[in-house]
Amino acid sequence: MLIKTLVAVFLAAILTENYVLSKFLGICPFLGVSKKLNSAVGMSIAVTVVMVLATAVTFPIYTYLLVPNGLDYLQTILFILVIAGLVQLVEIVLKKYIPSLYKSLGIYLPLITTNCAVLGVTMLVLQKVTSTTAYEYTYLHALINAFGAGIGFLVAMVMFAGVRGKLENADIPKSLKGLPITLVAAALVSLSFLGFAGFVDKLIPLG
Protein backbone atom coordinates (compact mmCIF):
# COMPACT_ATOMS: atom_id res chain seq x y z
CA MET A 1 0.00 0.00 0.00
CA LEU A 2 2.80 2.39 0.90
CA ILE A 3 4.69 1.67 -2.32
CA LYS A 4 1.47 2.05 -4.29
CA THR A 5 0.75 5.48 -2.84
CA LEU A 6 4.36 6.56 -3.34
CA VAL A 7 4.24 5.60 -7.01
CA ALA A 8 0.92 7.42 -7.38
CA VAL A 9 2.33 10.56 -5.76
CA PHE A 10 5.44 10.41 -7.95
CA LEU A 11 3.53 9.96 -11.22
CA ALA A 12 0.99 12.61 -10.30
CA ALA A 13 3.76 15.12 -9.57
CA ILE A 14 5.29 14.53 -13.00
CA LEU A 15 2.23 14.23 -15.22
CA THR A 16 -1.07 15.50 -13.84
CA GLU A 17 0.25 18.14 -11.43
CA ASN A 18 3.20 19.26 -13.50
CA TYR A 19 4.48 22.36 -11.74
CA VAL A 20 5.34 24.28 -14.87
CA LEU A 21 2.57 23.35 -17.24
CA SER A 22 -0.43 23.06 -14.95
CA LYS A 23 0.50 25.01 -11.83
CA PHE A 24 2.43 27.83 -13.50
CA LEU A 25 5.29 27.67 -11.05
CA GLY A 26 8.83 28.29 -12.26
CA ILE A 27 7.80 29.95 -15.51
CA CYS A 28 10.78 32.35 -15.57
CA PRO A 29 13.45 29.63 -15.88
CA PHE A 30 11.09 27.64 -18.10
CA LEU A 31 11.01 30.49 -20.62
CA GLY A 32 14.51 31.81 -19.95
CA VAL A 33 16.73 28.74 -19.87
CA SER A 34 14.94 26.35 -22.22
CA LYS A 35 16.64 27.60 -25.38
CA LYS A 36 19.33 24.95 -25.38
CA LEU A 37 18.99 21.35 -24.25
CA ASN A 38 22.21 21.38 -22.16
CA SER A 39 21.28 24.36 -20.05
CA ALA A 40 17.69 23.12 -19.73
CA VAL A 41 18.91 19.81 -18.27
CA GLY A 42 21.47 21.53 -16.01
CA MET A 43 18.91 23.94 -14.61
CA SER A 44 16.35 21.17 -14.03
CA ILE A 45 18.82 18.98 -12.15
CA ALA A 46 19.84 21.90 -9.95
CA VAL A 47 16.15 22.67 -9.30
CA THR A 48 15.39 19.02 -8.46
CA VAL A 49 18.26 18.83 -5.95
CA VAL A 50 17.22 22.05 -4.24
CA MET A 51 13.52 21.04 -4.19
CA VAL A 52 14.23 17.73 -2.45
CA LEU A 53 16.68 19.30 0.01
CA ALA A 54 14.35 22.21 0.76
CA THR A 55 11.39 19.88 1.37
CA ALA A 56 13.57 17.62 3.54
CA VAL A 57 14.42 20.60 5.74
CA THR A 58 11.17 22.61 5.78
CA PHE A 59 8.76 19.71 6.37
CA PRO A 60 10.13 18.80 9.83
CA ILE A 61 10.61 22.46 10.75
CA TYR A 62 6.95 23.19 10.00
CA THR A 63 5.52 20.04 11.59
CA TYR A 64 7.66 19.85 14.71
CA LEU A 65 8.66 23.45 15.38
CA LEU A 66 6.13 25.89 13.96
CA VAL A 67 2.80 24.09 14.39
CA PRO A 68 3.26 22.94 18.03
CA ASN A 69 4.24 26.47 18.99
CA GLY A 70 1.43 28.16 17.06
CA LEU A 71 3.89 29.94 14.78
CA ASP A 72 2.61 28.64 11.45
CA TYR A 73 2.06 32.21 10.23
CA LEU A 74 5.87 32.46 10.00
CA GLN A 75 5.82 29.83 7.24
CA THR A 76 6.44 32.18 4.31
CA ILE A 77 9.28 34.17 5.83
CA LEU A 78 11.00 31.12 7.33
CA PHE A 79 10.76 28.97 4.21
CA ILE A 80 12.22 31.58 1.90
CA LEU A 81 15.13 32.14 4.27
CA VAL A 82 15.74 28.39 4.61
CA ILE A 83 15.74 28.04 0.82
CA ALA A 84 18.07 31.01 0.36
CA GLY A 85 20.45 29.62 2.97
CA LEU A 86 20.27 26.14 1.52
CA VAL A 87 21.07 27.35 -1.98
CA GLN A 88 24.08 29.21 -0.63
CA LEU A 89 25.20 26.10 1.24
CA VAL A 90 24.84 23.84 -1.80
CA GLU A 91 26.83 26.37 -3.81
CA ILE A 92 29.68 26.48 -1.28
CA VAL A 93 29.81 22.69 -0.89
CA LEU A 94 29.82 22.12 -4.66
CA LYS A 95 32.50 24.76 -5.17
CA LYS A 96 34.76 23.18 -2.57
CA TYR A 97 34.30 19.48 -3.19
CA ILE A 98 32.97 18.93 -6.71
CA PRO A 99 34.28 21.83 -8.80
CA SER A 100 33.40 20.11 -12.08
CA LEU A 101 29.75 19.82 -11.07
CA TYR A 102 29.83 23.38 -9.77
CA LYS A 103 31.02 24.56 -13.14
CA SER A 104 28.07 23.03 -14.94
CA LEU A 105 25.31 23.59 -12.33
CA GLY A 106 26.65 26.47 -10.24
CA ILE A 107 25.56 29.19 -12.62
CA TYR A 108 21.92 28.24 -12.12
CA LEU A 109 22.00 28.14 -8.33
CA PRO A 110 21.67 31.87 -7.52
CA LEU A 111 18.62 32.02 -9.77
CA ILE A 112 16.91 29.19 -7.91
CA THR A 113 16.41 31.19 -4.71
CA THR A 114 13.73 33.22 -6.43
CA ASN A 115 12.31 30.25 -8.32
CA CYS A 116 8.73 30.05 -7.16
CA ALA A 117 8.54 26.33 -7.95
CA VAL A 118 10.88 25.54 -5.04
CA LEU A 119 8.93 27.59 -2.52
CA GLY A 120 5.72 26.28 -4.07
CA VAL A 121 6.69 22.64 -3.56
CA THR A 122 7.62 23.10 0.08
CA MET A 123 4.26 24.76 0.76
CA LEU A 124 2.05 22.51 -1.36
CA VAL A 125 3.31 19.28 0.20
CA LEU A 126 2.29 20.65 3.60
CA GLN A 127 -1.19 21.45 2.30
CA LYS A 128 -1.48 17.86 1.10
CA VAL A 129 -0.85 16.52 4.60
CA THR A 130 -4.15 18.02 5.73
CA SER A 131 -6.15 17.62 2.53
CA THR A 132 -5.31 14.04 1.53
CA THR A 133 -7.80 11.63 3.06
CA ALA A 134 -7.41 8.38 1.10
CA TYR A 135 -4.10 7.52 2.80
CA GLU A 136 -1.70 8.97 5.31
CA TYR A 137 0.58 11.53 3.69
CA THR A 138 3.96 11.14 5.36
CA TYR A 139 7.41 12.73 5.22
CA LEU A 140 8.39 10.09 2.66
CA HIS A 141 5.45 11.05 0.43
CA ALA A 142 6.50 14.68 0.67
CA LEU A 143 10.06 13.87 -0.41
CA ILE A 144 8.87 11.72 -3.31
CA ASN A 145 6.47 14.49 -4.29
CA ALA A 146 9.32 17.03 -4.34
CA PHE A 147 11.50 14.68 -6.36
CA GLY A 148 8.64 14.05 -8.81
CA ALA A 149 8.05 17.79 -9.12
CA GLY A 150 11.70 18.25 -10.04
CA ILE A 151 11.55 15.44 -12.60
CA GLY A 152 8.33 16.95 -13.95
CA PHE A 153 10.19 20.24 -14.35
CA LEU A 154 12.95 18.36 -16.19
CA VAL A 155 10.45 16.66 -18.51
CA ALA A 156 8.74 19.96 -19.32
CA MET A 157 12.06 21.76 -19.89
CA VAL A 158 13.48 19.03 -22.15
CA MET A 159 10.28 18.77 -24.19
CA PHE A 160 10.12 22.50 -24.55
CA ALA A 161 13.79 22.83 -25.49
CA GLY A 162 13.00 20.48 -28.38
CA VAL A 163 10.01 22.55 -29.45
CA ARG A 164 12.05 25.76 -29.29
CA GLY A 165 14.81 24.21 -31.37
CA LYS A 166 12.26 23.80 -34.15
CA LEU A 167 10.96 27.34 -33.70
CA GLU A 168 14.40 28.83 -34.40
CA ASN A 169 14.11 28.14 -38.09
CA ALA A 170 10.42 28.84 -38.48
CA ASP A 171 9.28 31.84 -40.47
CA ILE A 172 6.96 33.76 -38.17
CA PRO A 173 5.48 37.29 -38.24
CA LYS A 174 7.76 39.94 -36.79
CA SER A 175 5.65 40.89 -33.81
CA LEU A 176 5.26 37.25 -32.78
CA LYS A 177 9.02 36.66 -32.72
CA GLY A 178 10.72 35.90 -29.43
CA LEU A 179 8.55 35.61 -26.37
CA PRO A 180 5.02 35.61 -27.88
CA ILE A 181 5.60 32.58 -30.10
CA THR A 182 7.37 30.86 -27.20
CA LEU A 183 4.27 31.34 -25.07
CA VAL A 184 1.96 30.07 -27.79
CA ALA A 185 4.21 27.01 -28.14
CA ALA A 186 4.08 26.57 -24.36
CA ALA A 187 0.28 26.63 -24.63
CA LEU A 188 0.39 23.70 -27.05
CA VAL A 189 2.83 21.72 -24.87
CA SER A 190 0.66 22.35 -21.85
CA LEU A 191 -2.40 21.27 -23.87
CA SER A 192 -0.72 17.92 -24.45
CA PHE A 193 -0.25 17.50 -20.69
CA LEU A 194 -3.99 18.03 -20.15
CA GLY A 195 -4.36 14.62 -21.76
CA PHE A 196 -2.96 13.05 -18.60
CA ALA A 197 -5.90 14.27 -16.49
CA GLY A 198 -7.23 11.39 -14.42
CA PHE A 199 -4.48 9.11 -15.73
CA VAL A 200 -2.90 8.35 -12.35
CA ASP A 201 -6.22 7.73 -10.60
CA LYS A 202 -7.20 5.21 -13.25
CA LEU A 203 -3.80 3.53 -13.27
CA ILE A 204 -3.43 3.20 -9.51
CA PRO A 205 -6.85 3.23 -7.82
CA LEU A 206 -6.49 4.21 -4.17
CA GLY A 207 -8.74 3.76 -1.16
Q: State the DSSP string of 122-178.
A: HHHHHHHHHH--SS---HHHHHHHHHHHHHHHHHHHHHHHHHHHHHHT----GGGTT
* Residue choice 9, 13, 25, 146 for contact with other proteins (CB under 8 A): 25
- Side chain identity at 135, as an amino acid letter? Y
Question: Binding to other proteins (CB under 8 A): which residues in 90-129?
Answer: 106-108, 110-111, 113-116, 119-120, 123-124, 127
Contact 19, 26 (CB under 8 A): yes
Question: Binding to other proteins (CB under 8 A): which residues in 60-89?
Answer: 73-77, 80-81, 84
Using the minimum distance from each CB to other proteins, give the nearer residue, 4 or 177: 177
178 is a site residue for other proteins (CB under 8 A): yes
Question: Binding to other proteins (CB under 8 A): which residues in 32-51?
Answer: 32-33, 35-36, 38-39
Piece of 3-11, 55-63, 133-141, 178-186 that binds other proteins (CB under 8 A): 178-186
Q: How far is the CB of 2 from other proteins (least distance, A)?
A: 27
- The count of residues interacting with other proteins (CB under 8 A) is 54
176 is a site residue for other proteins (CB under 8 A): yes
Residues 6+ apart with CB under 8 A from 72: 62, 66
Burial 14-28 (b: 16+ CB within 10 A, else e): bbbbbbbbbbebbbe
Using the minimum distance from each CB to other proteins, give the nearer residue, 63 or 75: 75
